[in-house]
Every structure is written in structure tokens, then in C-alpha cells.
Amino acid sequence: MAGEATIRKDDARYPGLISGANTRWVGAPEYVRLVSSAAEVAEAVQDAVDQGLKVTVRSGGHCDENFTTSTDVQVVINLAGLNAVYYDEERRAFAVEPGAMLGHVYETLYRGWGVTIPGGTCPTVGAGGHIVGGGYGALSRLHGLTVDYLYAVEIVVVDENGRCRTVVATSEPDDPHRELWWAHTGAGGGNFGVITTYWLRSPDSASAEPADQLPAAPAEVLVSDIAWSWSDLTEESFTRLVRNFSAWHEANSAPDSPWTGLYSQLKTQHKAAGMFRMSTQIDASVPDAQGRLDRFLAAVNEGTGVDYSVNDRSVLPWFYVVREWFGFVEPSLPRWKAKSAYMRKAMPADQLAALYRQLTRDDYDNPFSMVALVSYGGRINTVDPEATAVAQRDSVLKLLYVTLWTDKTEDDRHDRWIRECYADVYAASGGVPSSNAVTDGCFINYADADVADPALNDSGVPWHELYFKNNYSRLQAVKERWDPRGEFSHALSIRPTPERLG
């Protein structure tokens, strides 16, 4: 099995296994190891450590940066074969292996038990990196983050003598490995070892029934997809539209708000696209769901003086939506660059002006460049900032900056635009969304290595403060305890303390 599962450069499968969904990042490892069990993971890690080879892991392959393809990576452990989803009676929790795609997770949980997790809206994302980075999606305002349901994690670690072992860490207060569990509730992938299984269940569940361990999936959802034409918009009307969207979320994102069941993405594309869209979902079973959607749409469009066109407005089975509805999925282009921001309040005037300026530039014309404002808050904000590694627990929006393209000769042009856009929007806080009254840092699952590059981040705000705030020192302690040799690292991985480095 080991020989058959080791893919080297002379194997016809090698080119298809050395890059992920973002094809601008192509690695050149000595080999790729395909695994399908925790025992095979442990063997693969031990082999790499014994040979002194730099090892990394890939599950779904949707990483925004080159964490699995950088020039120092010599071995890639591909976890696609670990894709089981099942109920574990002993732990009274649902087990999800890291190679399982979110679409497969949703389907298995729904078909088997009618439950779900509040995860992402892209069905091809792997559970491995998604969960450990925090994980959020269309049901998070109503149910919280995915990691708020993480009960335990199984992980292959390497001790100070270079020996591998498999450890299970749980959220139980008396678990001696509890800090290792805690670090997997938002630190991002590639930090402490190789995750081989997650166990998920509602933290307040006392039932022995599987169907009571996770939130029930909605029966049906009311979805809406509308668009505004750039030709109808002025700076004033565009600014009013985005301000309305962000102000609505500031006013309606408290944990006890009757609007927590509504999730929306306002995807402000560059004017070269000719238009931009807003997709919305609300549980169709809530009283007057159609009226609620009408009131939301009216609030967003109020005072703009322009009309929107309706691409879709339907009541659909929730299971169909998570598999087939493409309102929340970005264009499928092979190269991209992303950045992020948490928003505690509505976008202020200077940020709105910068956003308009960057989306209407005449010297840049990529229709697949956008800044997406995404619903956040609600039950997410009922959790203490130190209870999980996700420290941002009072935001109402999450922003995704992304530009997508095909031609590799244009990488620099697109990188330049998104960097300039980001720096312009956050000019008042040093070019990054530092923690202040309005913004609260960045989301590790929208990884952006720029913020760790002194040549690109001269704000004085360290990259780890943007991502982890005051939780970083605690994550460093976990790193020193469980990866003392630094076997697992990348551009945004948890670093040892300065004392350890010395």
C-alpha cells in the first residue's frame, strides 16, 4: 500500500496532485503521499520526519496562499482519502474526516439524521482546513460558527525526539489535552500536526439521540438573487446602497435579533462587470418570510433612486440549495488573490469612498474583481473571545476582497490592484483593518500572506494580531507543547515565542 500511495515526479498522477484549486500555486515536492487512514497518516509523517523532509498536508485544496506548494515543501500528504462522515456512539458526536468535502458532509448528515453544521456555502471546500480555521456560512448567524460545535479532534503530532503519535483532544474540562483541542477552534491549518478526524456536537446537548447532537437542517429556504447595473449608479447611489447594507447589519445582528435567520452576500464587482449582485437566504418557515425578504431588500435599496433586477426568487428545499444553488458561489476561475476584514460597525464614509474609487478605476478592468460584504454576527457573538481560538466575537459583517483571473502573465497586475484597494479602504488604520471601533482584523481562512510581509504591511500591526488578537500567545504555548521541533509551518502559521527562538 505504501509504495502504491507514494506519487513521485515520474508518475503520471503527479502533475494533478501538486496544486490545489488556486492554480497560481504549483509545488515541486519530492513526492505526494496518498492516505486513507490515521495509521497511514502517522506512517507518512514519520517517514518524512525520519528523512528530514519538510512535510505539509492538503485536504480540499482551496487554500488562498502557497502554504502547501512553497519551495521548501518536500512532502505533501493528501488527505482526500480520509473522507468518512459517520455517527460515533461512544463519543456521542458526528465524526468528520478532513478529506470530506462540505457538500458530502451536508449530504451525509442530512440524509442520515436531518441535521447539519453551520459551515460554508461552497460544497467543494474540504472540511480539514475549513473547520480548523473557524468555519462560517449561511446558518452561522442562527447557529454560530462550525468550531462552536467541535467536541474533539484526532491529530498526528511529532514530539521533541521526532517520534509520531496520534492524540485525541476534547473539550472536556478535565482533558489533559484540552489546550490542543482549543487551538483547533480557529488557528487555521498546518500548525500543530495532521488532523485525521473531527467530532462535532452541540455543546449544550444532553440527549443520547444522534438527531439531537447538531442543529436541524431547515426544510426549505427562501432564496433571492438580485442585481444592480453600474450604468444606473452614481457615486452617491452606490455609496448609499453599500451603507444601507452594512448599516442594516449593524442594527440587526444582535444574538436575540429576529433577523438572525437571514444571511446575505453583497458582491460589489468592478464596474467592468457591468453589474453586481446580492444573494440572500432566509428560512422559509419563519413567519412572513416573504415579507421579511421584501423589507430587507427595501432597506438595502432605500434612497438610492435606482431599481434592481431580479435574477431569482424561489422557495427551495434547503438540501437542494446547499448542493445546487449557485447564488453564493464565486466565479470559477483558476487563479486568485484574497484579503479579508471583520466589521464591527457599518462602513464609514472614508471606506465607502475608497471602495467606490477602487471599483470604478479606469486603469483596471477585471470584471471578476470584487469586495463581498457578508452577513455575520447573531449567535456567533454569544461566545466569549477566549472560549475558542476565534477572537472576533462582536462583528456584524465579514468582508472578502478577491480578484480572479486566468492568464498567469497577469498575476502582478491583479495583485497590485487588490493590494492598492485594500490599502485605500483602510488608509485611516495603516492600510489594514486593525482592531478598532469599526474593524477587527482578518479571517485566517481567507489567508493573506501580505500582512506578514514587512514590505507590504508597514502599519505597525503584527499579522498575528490581525488574525488572532489576544489569543496568539496562548496558541504559541500550544505550538511549543505539541510541535516543539517546528515540523509544521507556513507563512501564517503559529510561531514559537522569541524566547524559544533564542
Would 312 be classed as within a structural domain?
yes
4 pLDDT higher than 60 = no
Is 240 contained in some domain? yes
Rounded to whole angstroms, the Cα distance separating 287 from 264 reads 19
Mean of pLDDT values over 192-199: 98
User: What pTM did the predictor assign?
Assistant: 0.96
Confidence label for 498 from pLDDT (cuts 50, 70 and 90): low
Distance of alpha carbon 138 from alpha carbon 118, whole angstroms: 7
**Domain identity same for 260 and 354:** yes
pLDDT on residue 299:
98
Of 67-81, 107-121, 319-333, the one with minimum mean pLDDT is 319-333
Specify the pLDDT at position 345: 98
- Number of residues in the chain: 502
Do 292 and 409 share a structural domain?
Answer: yes
Q: Which one has a higher pLDDT value, 399 or 455?
A: 399
344: domain CATH number? 3.40.462.20
Query: Tens digits of per-residue pLDDT, 96-144?
Result: 999 999 999 999 999 999 999 999 999 999 999 999 999 999 999 999 9
Please report the pLDDT score of residue 502 as a whole number.
40
What span, in angstroms and rounded, lies between the C-alpha atoms of 280 and 445? 22
Position 120 in a domain: yes
Confidence band of 327 (pLDDT split at 50, 70, 90): confident
Number of domains in the chain: 3
Q: Is the pLDDT of residue 11 over 50?
A: yes
C-alpha 210/C-alpha 484 separation (Å) is: 38
In a domain, 443, yes or no: yes
CB atoms under 10 Å from CB of 454, counted, come to 7
Helix (H) or strand (E) holding 50: helix 38-51
Asked whether residue 341 carries a pLDDT value surpassing 70, the answer given is: yes
State the average pLDDT over residues 443-472: 96
Q: Per-residue pLDDT averaged across 269-295, rounded?
A: 97
Output 2 or 69, whichever has higher pLDDT: 69
Q: Convert the pLDDT of each residue in 196-248 to its tens digit.
A: 999 999 998 889 899 999 999 999 999 999 999 999 999 999 999 999 999 99
The Cα angle at residue 268 between residues 264 and 274, in degrees rounded to 5: 125
- State the residue range of the domain holding 143: 85-212
More confident residue, 331 or 88: 88
At residue 257, the pLDDT reads 97
Describe the crossing of helices 235-251 and 349-359 by its angle, rounded to 10 degrees. 130
pLDDT of residue 500: 52
Q: Are strands 164-170 and 150-158 parallel, antiparallel or unpaired?
A: antiparallel
Q: Are residues 58 and 169 in the same domain?
A: no
Is residue 495 in some structural domain? no
Classify residue 350 as exposed, middle or buried by CB count within 10 Å of its CB (0-12, 13-18, 19+). middle
Average pLDDT over residues 244-272: 97
287 with 414, same domain?
yes
Tell me the mean pLDDT in the region 178-192: 97
Do 238 and 357 fall into the same domain? yes
**Residue 3 pLDDT > 50, yes or no?**
no
Is the pLDDT at 369 greater than 90, yes or no? yes
Q: What is the pLDDT of residue 1?
A: 38
Q: Is the pLDDT of residue 289 over 50?
A: yes
User: Residue 181, SS3?
Assistant: helix
Residue 340, pLDDT > 90, answer yes
User: Same domain, yes or no, for 265 and 352?
Assistant: yes
CA angle 381, 169, 191 (to 5 degrees): 75
Residue 474 maps to a domain: no
Give me the residues paired with residue 402 across strands.
338, 370
Cell of 263: 444571511
Tell me which residue of 59, 33, 60 sits closest to 47, measured CA to CA: 33
Q: Residue 331: which pLDDT band, with cuts at 50, 70 and 90?
A: confident
What is the chain's Cα-based Rg?
A: 22
102 contacts 76 by C-beta, under 8 angstroms: no
Q: State how far the Cα of 260 lies from the Cα of 139, in Å rounded to an integer.
A: 9
Which of these ranges, 253-257, 322-326, 406-410, 411-415, has the smallest mean pLDDT? 322-326
Establish if 472 belongs to a structural domain.
Answer: no
In DSSP terms, 101 is beta-bridged to: 126
Distance CA 246, CA 7 (A): 48
Query: Between the CA atoms of 173, 179, 181 and 187, what dihedral angle is there, to the nearest 10 degrees?
Result: 140
Indicate if 238 and 198 belong to the same structural domain. Answer: no
Evaluate if residue 178 carries a pLDDT over 90: yes
| pLDDT value of residue 325 | 84
Average pLDDT for the chain: 96
